Amino acid sequence: MCKIREYLPSSKEMLLNAQKYGYAVPAFNIHNLETIQVVLEAANDLKSPVILAATPSTVKYAGESYLLTIIEKANEINNVPVTFHLDHHENVEDIKRIITIGCRSVMIDASKYEFKENVAIVKDVVDFAHRYGATVEAELGKLGGREDDIIVDEKNSFLTDPKEAVEFVKMTGVDSLAVAIGTAHGLYKSEPKLDFERLEEIRGLLDVPLVLHGASGVPTEAVQKAINLGICKVNIATELKIPFSNAIKEYFKEHPDASDPREYLVPAKRAMYDVVVEKIKMCNSENKALSYSTNI
């Protein structure tokens, strides 16, 4: 039986600090030891707080106990705030089980349901999570595109209603809210048009930290404008996977007889590192780890 890792931090202090000082915490989707190492190397080099996010497929692939143990050790040996976050999880019982073995930051994605059912599912998770000191993110509105096994056609996506957002947060007690303002998961066919007026209205009505999903491929200027209007967590996934996998493909073109992962994963990690650095700077979180020692 796995021990409860009581000292794994939640994301609550991270997001409140970001909200206070006007930046966003980058949440990078990780998949294995190598991708965790890359994110943490860049975070340490740039002194940025980071969230290591895992979708249901990642948890299934790597195993929650392995992931928690790796990140537990990472939290001990790194000099920046680090936490582990369940990203776009839909199975309530899985979320509760992983909370009991140490996860302190979760997203319950019930956005595919009607408002009342979304509220009921999220409130159930919030009530459970708060007993363990865990924080909960939920989503109101639907982002198009694909995230793991969740596929939303453009015609079925819709933006967050500001007045519904107020009611949703009040009824659920959720700690942060992912808002749909025109982004989508995966790669864009054309440059996305973000609804900044909608975001500004939501920010004016709510105090909870706001989250931007689908940031891969969104121009830096647009993301930074969203941060200035109240976004304090930005999710990045697709833009990490592409350079990582492309570097491996290129390595095998040049070394067709290669078989040692300790060799062909090195250029992959290097390529991903450059993107992580770029996204940390995009989020204005560089050097923000320094604020934790004196201001929290």
Q: Is 182 left (phi over 0), alpha (psi -120 to 50) or beta?
A: left
User: What gap in Å lies between CA 26 and CA 12, rounded to an integer?
Assistant: 14
Token reading at 65: 């106990």
Q: Which residues contact 71 (CB under 8 A, 6 or more apart)?
A: 8, 36, 52, 82, 83, 84
87 a catalytic residue = yes
Buried b (16+ CB within 10 A) or exposed e, 61-96: ebebeebbebbbebbeebebbbbbbbbbbbeeebbb
Q: Find all residues with CB under 8 Å of 193, minimum gap 6, and list them.
A: 182
Task: Give the residue from 57, 51, 69 showing the smallest Cα distance to 31.
Answer: 57
Position 93, amino acid: E
Strand, coil or helix: 166: helix
Alpha helices, DSSP H, located in 82-137: 92-100, 115-131
Number of Cβ atoms within 10 Å of the Cβ of 225: 14
Alpha-carbon span 282 to 224, nearest angstrom: 7
Residues with catalytic roles = 87
